[in-house]
Chain A
């Protein structure tokens, strides 16, 4: 069938890969696509186990306080229920992540609304609901803090000794010597709100427990070995007594990175106490109220420039709201810090960043992981600077772009090609940026609908930050089944982004067999090695490279030991595998992570190679602001990017489009409303994401520069597209209306309030 793709990927024009490939780069079909289209793919709620009962969670209704007592109303026959509290935890009452401050179940104290206190299980879901309402918890309320400002004042200490979850100080040059002699100093403050992942499949888990087998969980999750590690601590079990199996996962976006560890422990505690399999699947209201969201941020910029608009100094003060426990706040803060200076050269940079504790549900991983916050601020600030200097925002950026050989704020030398100028040119040309901008400037004067063009330039570091990949020390590989298939052995999970497909392509390409000769081993900790979490845009680059190496290694072994010829067919390959298997008992090729050479990173000073590779992008937004309704419509969108080698053009395009749509929601629609730290709009009815009628045409263009340390030249792609839309849209709104807004989500009521406050009169003629 011909796919009518008006935005077909126009790669190849600048391809400089010398390596011809058959399967990598081809639009092969999604590996698990047929089951998904037939409705046969099994998500956790589609699975039932013999004798399975259902679990539910009783949660705190206050943001902070001491638990005085728990009453179980006598109208319920409690003997028919399984009841679990912190007292039932056999091991440690904490969720093991970076730190161990978050309890699995609240014990004597609660630090946020919707914190889990009591777990119930029963065969009948309706009776469960009745029982939940019959558990009454008495508290002694303590004062709570809800904002970054309240937390940093430290009048109430709600975490540790100072409310500070993490801080970084990054310094390059000496910013303080610059201000006095600078031609221009421009300041600005930028704020971003929380954002809900809104994966369409809510969090869910099934758990079983037995003396012989220990704990087994099946669930919707990104990181099987995170869940595994956490369950080991909660149950005090040896590694072979905990088994984690990922079920088909209906979207994640970071929202199933750390939270499943908590839900798995809850379901498993109920399974252990009841002796039965227990399913816990949240409904939408519970998922929205109780699970992680994107960190809100407040970022202040003070920037010095010379008379020509060259950056002289950047002083950045970055603060995030981390919520009640530390979870991933330290690493999110790290990525926010490292992305906050933008893709520019500046000799003097100081970044002070802090993650503050508040009495809200802990904020967590979400596509971009701090980068969208940092990039929102710098890219809005660049337009603010352009206004202050009376410069074209495009030329201001162009004059400060990083190039090959330049150093970043961490003094990382750009050794790989940086083609921002080329990406910018392409974006300007494809969007017809200047002509449109001029046209709208003329038209807007006599129209109630004001149109404008805005732009953002940015990078996204691929893989774990700094020394992260070395600590992860991932292992991944391949084996060959008796049925004559190569199986990919990774703990990296498929949740829509295409892990199954791209890793199968890489394996097939490296070995020289067909895509259909490769299958994925189940993401089951009993079957697959720990190839690290499925996060941080690391799967294509880091895990992809491990699979490429494992494939080449296997072929080399077969040549040495099993008589594989220089040229071979798939059947000759599998025949050689059979001979190898007969000699060795199995055919397994595993590889361990090796850092690219000359990588240096100092965790103390935050200096060195922050990321092994960067993806680069320019986004252009065209918006229409209706000055009668104050609504903003993104009418058209262009995204030009360099993400290394494109492994699969359909999947790559889908990642970019999906990320942009999600980020349009971040900018204009999605507002988490908290009252006393509890989300009150915890429904799809009043937490609004972009629909089919809201998403503009998205035009995507890839330039490909293969990265030799990534799987067949790939860098990271998944998070990049969420970084640019919000600032590009707000810059376009500035172009349309002349008003620079500094906070997202930017709702119609915010625009209305600004127009009223500033007595802005607009033409009321219709468009």
Chain B
């Protein structure tokens, strides 16, 4: 498929180039062309949020983003959360508090939570509920996800989350 022009963007701190149909969904490019299968498809219409990734510091449903829109962008996926073999505080909190059950919504949920904490380091429960309202979890009833976010912010206070540069 080299007839397509190159589309270049940064994923998890690495510059990548793909030559695919420009209207191909960013989700499929991540999963099929870049081998990053952490982002999941739950509905294909932007309702469930399991394909959530961060693009230029915004949370997007990657099933609704044609890859051409990612040209020049900085994209962060769940694979970009852990750094130097150490889990991100949110990942650690989800593990400790039972924020993940079947795990299929977890990558998107983690990205939504990362986005929330990047703009609001100490969200209230109402703000957490709003911040995660675009991400559906069918297993947990959300309670332990909220607790995970709170636990991560508590840790935040102690350690401060060091965000990787590419995640801005």
Contact = CB atoms under 8 A, between A and B. Distances in A.
B51 to A, nearest CB: 11
Interface string A23-42: 00000011011111111111
A302 B84 CA distance: 67
B100 A695 contact: no
Given A5-B147, A657-B141, A37 B110 contact: yes
B104 A201 contact: yes
Given A200-B102, A683-B43, A30 B95 contact: yes
A35 B104 CA distance: 11
Contact of B143 (A2, A248, A253, A657): A657
A698 interface: yes
A697 B142 CA distance: 10
A653 B144 contact: yes
Nearest to A281: B41
A34 B95 contact: yes
Interface string A277-294: 000000110000000000
B136 A37 contact: no
Interface string B74-94: 000111011000010001111
Nearest to A33: B95
A684 B94 contact: no
B97 A200 contact: no
A514 interface: no
A622 interface: no
Contacts of A201: 40, 42, 102, 104
A180 interface: no
Given A4-B150, A38-B87, A695-B141, A683 B45 contact: yes
Interface string A643-654: 000000011011
B100 A33 contact: yes
Interface string A687-714: 0010111010110000000000000000
B137 A200 contact: yes
B140 A1 contact: no
Contacts of B45: 284, 683-685
Interface stretch (B3-11, B64-72, B127-135, B160-168): B127-135
Interface residues of B, number: 60
Contacts of B91: 37-38
B166 to A, nearest CB: 16
Interface in A456-507: 495-498
A251 B136 contact: no
Contacts of B133: 691-693
Contacts of B13: none
Q: Is the interface of B mostly helix, strand, loop or mixed?
A: loop
Given A39-B39, A692-B145, A654 B96 contact: no
Given A37-B95, A691-B136, A200 B79 contact: no
Given A1-B155, A692-B133, A43 B40 contact: yes
A38 B151 contact: no
B40 A654 contact: no
B44 interface: yes
A654 B133 CA distance: 19
Contacts of A692: 128-130, 132-133, 135, 137, 142, 145-146
B38 A39 contact: yes
A353 interface: no
B97 A650 contact: yes
A129 to B, nearest CB: 13
Given A253-B138, A654-B98, A692-B145, 15 more contacts: A1-B96, A30-B98, A32-B103, A37-B94, A38-B91, A39-B79, A200-B48, A200-B104, A200-B136, A202-B42, A284-B43, A497-B139, A662-B138, A684-B47, A692-B142
Interface of A: 1-7, 29-30, 32-43, 45-46, 197-202, 248-253, 283-284, 495-498, 650-651, 653-654, 657-662, 683-685, 689, 691-693, 695, 697-698
30 contacts: A3-B97, A3-B147, A4-B150, A36-B100, A36-B103, A37-B100, A37-B106, A39-B78, A39-B79, A198-B136, A200-B42, A200-B138, A251-B138, A252-B102, A253-B138, A283-B41, A284-B44, A284-B45, A495-B102, A653-B143, A657-B144, A661-B142, A683-B47, A684-B136, A691-B134, A692-B132, A692-B146, A693-B129, A693-B130, A695-B143
